[in-house]
Amino acid sequence: MRRVALVAVAAALALAATAAAAPNPADLEAELVCPTCDTTLDQSNAPVAQRMKQIIRQHIAAGWTEAQIKADLVDQFGPGVLAEPPKSGFDLTAWLIPGAAILLAAIAIALGLRRWRRAGRGGGPPSGEGEPLDSADAERLDADLARYDL
């Protein structure tokens, strides 16, 4: 009797583990794109999208993993059904280029700020130093300032 109970408990745990590991259709639908309207399956009502959703549910019921389902849909509809490009081969550039562009922009900004500060345009108050005015310029400045005095 104990063996039967142990076998029943083991079977229940195995079924629970399998059910927990089964992919969620909503997650898969958010990760796959409809080849007709180029939106994710969870947002599309196109006939092809409905067929893909049906395939996903059938595969989940048959015990397929998420990777197997995606591979099957890529075989049927092409790599364009993946919402994010694979992280291998040439498609790896889609992951690397944005990061490299951000890094290069940050370096360019840092170098530009460094040059700007070295040139004395650091945004601080003026130092008051400069070339002295000659007498004609000084007289003209005094005359202009006198016109604006109230």
What CATH code is carried by the domain that includes residue 58?
Answer: 1.10.8.640
Domain-located, residue 36: yes
Model pTM? 0.48
Range in 22-31, 69-78, 108-117, 120-129 the model is least confident about: 120-129
Instruction: Say whether both 99 and 77 belong to one domain.
Output: no
Instruction: Say whether both 27 and 64 belong to one domain.
Output: yes
Tokens at 10, concatenated? 């083991």
Instruction: Say whether both 77 and 107 belong to one domain.
Output: no
CA-CA-CA-CA torsion sign (33, 35, 39, 43): negative
Q: Write the DSSP symbol of residue 43.
A: G
Mean pLDDT of 115-140: 75
Mean pLDDT of 127-143: 82
Q: What are phi and psi of 41, to 5 degrees?
A: -60, -35
Which residue range is the domain that position 104 belongs to?
Answer: 86-119
Instruction: Say whether both 56 and 103 belong to one domain.
Output: no
Domain count, the chain: 2
Instruction: Say whether both 96 and 51 belong to one domain.
Output: no
Instruction: Say whether both 80 and 91 belong to one domain.
Output: no
Instruction: Say whether both 53 and 77 belong to one domain.
Output: yes
DSSP character string of 63-115: T--HHHHHHHHHHHH-GGGBSS--SSGGGGHHHHHHHHHHHHHHHHHHHHHHH
Instruction: Say whether both 56 and 98 belong to one domain.
Output: no
Domain C-terminal end among 31, 65, 84: 84
